[in-house]
Structure 1
């Protein structure tokens, strides 16, 4: 008897647990991933002879499927609707791979691919299991530091990082000697946000130490990635915010001052010479009367 109903086919699949090929695939959240399911030998297939079925392993969740005579619409799980696709042209060549678009954290599952041929009385010709691991990059950790005016005997640092996957590991580091701090000193809060991604807040409390440098490291195990935020705190010493200049920069400023002083002196000398030469061309003539001792300047350049 030939089974053309997805429900009846599902019952059949639950009893077929032969040796299954297994593969692992990694994908970033929001990307498109291809889950491979390829017939091992070169062959061509008639689509009217094929039953192709993708489901979540160990459950009745239907991802997508193909049944002959275009009877394969409307039975997939809503989570995968319009995101999971098979290529008819590829299936003719024995490639039954699943293309999954806009990957979400909820897609971190084991997917089962099964292929049957109607001409073999629904004999199974291929079964493959693909484990999909999903990852998302965490944001660079941001550290809130204690106030420099604080007189508390304890320093409290807060580290925040968001929108990552899977669940992170958080470590605090003493940047002075690059040694890990005791995890008993930190308190981590990890929560899932509306996007299904993880946000983490880690609070570190340590005895007060002057000029303390710490680093907050958020580890994404799946991506083999460590993101580290760094911070520094120090008691108020009257130097906060001061810019320290190097001897070279001070020397350059001294040279500029000397140059400007010499330039001003040179200009003063030139002006004095010009005034002196101008007076030398103006002989004094004394007149009697109200305009006595008036300076009369002869105009040069006239005949």
Structure 2
């Protein structure tokens, strides 16, 4: 004879013991997962003599169940209807695992599995399975406000979205990978329409010649750290001092050009003197000597 739903719940919960072995399972949002509840003795089981019951631990929420006289899902909680199921073929082999489809953030619970022999109302199997639900955060995007604020501080903004569970947010000094003081940043974590978390973190640090910071989003369930970075450099002085290949000021450029022109002119005069020395008439030699003495003086200089 089938017990009423209230009487059935009291009966099953009264058989639950705190010493049940507990398993931990991780699943991504949107995936399918199996929560194990297997009789270690194996063998073949008569389903007409079994009652199987899955519930959310510490609550009256019915996830899935099997009673020989009632195959409907009338007692199943609406959030698990058409998502949570048991396999008749597997149960005949002693596998009473729960199949949960399209995992949501709200499925992060400890679930209790209870299997009874109906003929003697004896509990033959008990299991507890904790489901940890997770979703990957997007890669953090770090942006920098243009220039320093009036008080001389630099502002960095870090954004990441669609993750689960609630993250830990850190800012780091990428120069030595040290954590920045939490007082320097303010983080806002909010739930979006999908039940996932979005993160907005704002960091304010004193202006410095070179600031290299990173935003660190930690997902504890996935043991995952995602980092976005931004580097800001501030230069003090004239432009020519920070150019990779500096050029001299205009005055220096003009002086260098005059020196080069003078050298070329003197070289031309020297060539002319040599030609004149070999080809000009003797009457012009004195002039040539004068030029020659000038060249020699110039050479010694």
Task: Please tell me whether the aligned partners of residues 148 and 233 of structure 1 are also in contact (alpha carbons under 8 angstroms).
Answer: no
Structure 2 residue 144 is matched with structure 1 residue 142: no
Q: 2:22, 2:176 → 1: CA distance?
A: 45
Residue in structure 2 matched with residue 176 of structure 1 by the alignment? 175
- Equivalent position of 2:16 in the other structure: 17
> Cα offset for 1:148?
4.0
How far apart are the structure 1 equivalents of 2:148 and 2:222? Answer: 40
Match of 2:80 in 1: 80
Aligned to 1:274: none
Show CA shifts across 1:211-246 (max 9, x none). Answer: 31110000111111100001122347898xx9979x
User: Relative to structure 2, which stretch is displaced further, 142-151 or 12-21?
Assistant: 142-151
SS in 1 for 2:82: coil
CA-to-aligned-CA distance 1:68-97 (integer Å, 9 cap, x gap): 034332221111110001000000000000
In the alignment, the residues of structure 2 paired with residue 43 and residue 57 of structure 1 have an alpha-carbon distance, to the nearest angstrom, of: 28
Determine the structure 1 residue equivalent to 2:216.
217
Whole-Å Cα distance in 2 between the matches of residues 192 and 217 of structure 1? Answer: 19
Unaligned runs of at least 5 residues, structure 2 = 246-301
Structure-1 residue corresponding to 2:66? 66
Gaps of 5+ in 1: 246-303
Query: TM-score with structure 1 length normalisation?
Result: 0.74
* Structure 1 residue 119 displacement after superposition: 2.1
Aligned length: 241
What does the per-residue CA deviation read over 1:141-190, in whole Å, with 9 as the maximum and x for residues that have no partner? 00110214866500011101111111111111112222221111011111
Moved segments of 4+, more than 6 Å: 236-239, 242-245
Q: Give the TM-score normalised by the residue count of structure 2.
A: 0.75
| CA gap 1:126/1:244 in 2 versus in 1, 3 angstroms | farther
In 1, distance between residues paired with 2:73 and 2:123?
22
Looking at structure 2, the residues matched to 166 and 73 of structure 1 have their Cα atoms a distance apart, in angstroms, of 30
- Whichever structure has more helix as a proportion of its residues is 2
Tell me, in whole angstroms, the C-alpha distance in 1 between the residues paired with 2:119 and 2:11: 16
Q: Which residue of 1 aligns with 2:264?
A: none
| Residues 139/160 of structure 1: CA separation in 2 closer, same or farther (3 Å cut) | same
Question: Is the partner of 2:157 in helix, strand or coil?
Answer: strand
1:39-188 alignment, distance < 5 Å: 39-120=39-120, 122-148=121-147, 153-188=152-187
* 8 Å CA contact 1:44, 1:93 repeated in 2: yes
Say if 2:47 and 2:91, in contact at 8 Å, map to a contact too. Answer: yes
